Amino acid sequence: MMTERMGLIVTLAFGLAVWPVGGGHATDAAAAANGTIRGRVELRQAAPDPGPQAGVADIGMNAAHGPTDRRSVVYLDPAPRAAFDAREDLRPRMDQRNETFVPHVLAIVAGTTVDFPNSDHTYHNVFSLSKTRSFDLGRYAVGRSKSVRFDRPGIVRVFCDIHSHMSAFILVFAHRYFSVADVDGSYRLEGVPPGTYTVMAWNESAPLESRRVVVPDAGGEIEMNFSLGRR
Amino acid sequence: MLIYRPARRLLLLLSFAATVGRVSAQPLPEGPIGAFDGRVVVRGEVIAAGSSADDIAYFNYTDYEHNALRMVRLGVSGVYRPASWLAFVGEVRSEDLQHPTAYAAYARVRPWRNRPLDIQAGRIPPVFGAFGRRIYGNGNPVIGYPLAYQYLTSLRPDAIPATADDLLRMRARGWRSNFPVGSTAPGPGMPLVSAFQWDTGVQVSWKSGALDLAGAVTNGTLSNPRMSDNNDGKQLSARVAVTPTVGLILGASAARGSWLSRTVTPGAEPAQRALGADLEYSRDHWIVRGEAVWSRFAFPTVLAPSTSRAVDAMATWIDGRYRVTPRIFLGARADRLSFSELQGSTATLPWDAPVTRLEWGAGYFIQRNFILRVTAQSNRRDAGRVRNRTYIAGQLAYWF
């Protein structure tokens, strides 16, 4: 499937990004200003929601939740050496609400622990069979939360064992140069040292796209737009 | 080229199993395929099961030709949703690559946008019980079916015994029974509840909070779901389920319908009555389910020398699954099917041979929606040519 193939490519890219090759591309960061890469990611064709199907009695039912928030993620590959120096101690959460994972797409730095609270009045069973990080949190009720630490870069597909229509993505990066696009597709990568990079745009329902970008010594803003999916 | 059925089945299993090796390189779809902005959704299912041959005990036969432990089943279902309040659902299935049949074909209407009331008409999902309302691929902890939903009793909708002795002679012969009244040709009997066909009629369901209600009027019966009616009596069935606390579901079902064909009993409409109770409890990595089904089959005349005009059957089972790791789970089911006693001319016996079944095994998630299962199933029957039989079975189940 296209998404899985992309996953393989992205995983590879993430893996390579672990190695700080920025010295070969970026100029001396101390003598130059950092730049910002910003723009929009447009999705040409949105994937439809299949709707719930917990049992045969539910076949054909309308989705109980809203449309899936399939946001894109933009990241540098490879990342500048400075990206690997500092680590922020964040504790992001992926909520289970109205039989939906919120957010549907989460991007984190390797080594981050993610909380999975259950905000529904029904059981959920968060699990993943991904090679990057497989886990099974079991069934737990409203008000409870379990957590998972993600140490390896790559893509983690998250599912609920009870509600087959629930799915999410966690993108684990070896660096901090990534941005989850807004609802309107806009993204912003800040503090990028001068140098030549490849900017990657990922979305679960479209092939991965990449562009070369040069951040000049003077820094400044560089606009880069993506249009993902088949024409 | 002529390929005999066992060889053909083996070839199919091998070719299906061979795809497993390719999965890591090119994973199969993980979800339904949508088109036309989500108004059309297509789902599919491929199940290939194999076990040692059973051409004498027939413990797992679903009719005269198909064995639930040695079956290749292909299914494709589609949902067309032209409006938010209307959906058309259809499913076509083929067992052992025979002619595809319409398993489901119904329209689903939600008359009020803010009320969780649905009306379905056509070949509709079952109302009675819990097992038949689950998706088989992921909902079954083992390979085999519960006895109530699969095991063939000797009763047939197109033939009946004239005496108690006629019925007692067919004990443990549900795979191919014959009686003197009605069709005299041998044929397969019926389970208490069929899991292999859906009935035709109208269903109303209402789901809100902790309460789940459903009721239906259909052409057939639990034992013999039908496309067209074979008598003048409709079946009424209903189910209520409550979730008193998260993780616990309690259900109760009832059904009543005329079970004999009009060719057997013109003018009379003896009924199959059934009651069911089910529970499900899950927590952490455990899920435990239990179900009991009681069914009474009435006859148009007394089964002499007894004074009975009806026979009863009772099935109870409990099954469970424990997920050891994200990919590996253990599953087991203990199952018992028993029958009421009937007085014959020489002895008083259960009208069919009681069966006890134990099945246990393990499963491996190759992909979220692609499971490999291996189980051992032990069967014990109180009568018949073969009373004990254990099967080792393997299954690949894939759905999207």
**Which has the closest alpha carbon to B253: B193, B310, B309, B318?**
B193
Q: Which helix (H) or strand (E) holds A152?
A: none
A83 token code pair: 């990206």
Q: What is the pLDDT of residue A23?
A: 34
Q: What's the mean pLDDT in B327-345?
A: 97
Please report which residue ranges of B198-346 form alpha helices under DSSP H. Answer: none
The answer to whether A173 faces chain B, any CB pair under 8 Å, is no
Average pLDDT, chain B: 91
DSSP one-letter string for A115-138: EEEB-SSS-EEEEE--SS--EEEE
* Average pLDDT per 10 consecutive residues for chain A, totaling 231 residues: 45 44 41 85 73 62 65 89 63 94 96 96 94 96 94 96 92 94 94 93 93 92 91 66
Q: Is the pLDDT of residue B289 over 90?
A: yes
Q: Which position has the token pair 């680590």? A: A87
Strand residue runs (E) in chain A: 35-43, 73-76, 95-97, 100-102, 105-109, 112-117, 124-128, 135-140, 145-150, 154-160, 167-173, 178-180, 186-192, 195-203, 206-215, 220-223, 226-228
Closest Cα of chain B to A128: distance in Å?
7
Of B26, B138, B368, the CB nearest to A129: B368
A59 token code pair: 């076949």
Of A62, A136, A139, the CB nearest to B283: A139
Measure the CA–CA gap between A46 and B342, rounded to whole angstroms: 64
Q: Do B125 and A59 touch (CB under 8 A)?
A: yes
Q: Residue B267: which residues within 8 A CB-CB, separation 6 or more?
A: none
Measure the CA–CA gap between B227 and B229, rounded to whole angstroms: 7
Measure the CA–CA gap between B315 and B294, rounded to whole angstroms: 6
> With contact defined as beta carbons under 8 Å apart, do B394 and B49 qualify?
yes
B268 token code pair: 């009379």
Measure the CA–CA gap between B269 and B271, rounded to whole angstroms: 6
SS3 category, B135? coil
Q: Do A55 and B247 touch (CB under 8 A)?
A: no
Q: What is the pLDDT of residue A1?
A: 41
What is the per-residue pLDDT across B46-99, written as a single tens digit (0 to 9) for each? 999 999 888 888 999 998 789 999 999 999 999 999 998 999 999 999 999 888
Q: What is the pLDDT of residue A50?
A: 57
With contacts defined as CB-CB under 8 Å, which chain A residues touch B37? 48
What is the per-residue pLDDT across B21-59, written as a single tens digit (0 to 9) for each? 444 445 677 778 888 877 898 999 999 999 988 888 899
Q: Which helix (H) or strand (E) holds B353?
A: none
With contacts defined as CB-CB under 8 Å, which chain B residues touch A49? 34, 38
Measure the CA–CA gap between B173 and A118, rounded to whole angstroms: 51
Share of residues in chain B with pLDDT > 90 (%): 75
* Poorest-pLDDT segment among A63-67, B11-15, B289-293: B11-15
* Confidence tier at B230 by pLDDT (50, 70, 90): confident
> With contact defined as beta carbons under 8 Å apart, do A137 and A148 qualify?
yes
CB-defined contacts A:B, below 8 A:
104
DSSP one-letter string for B70-106: B-EEEEEEEEEEEETTEEEEEEEEEETT---EEEEEE
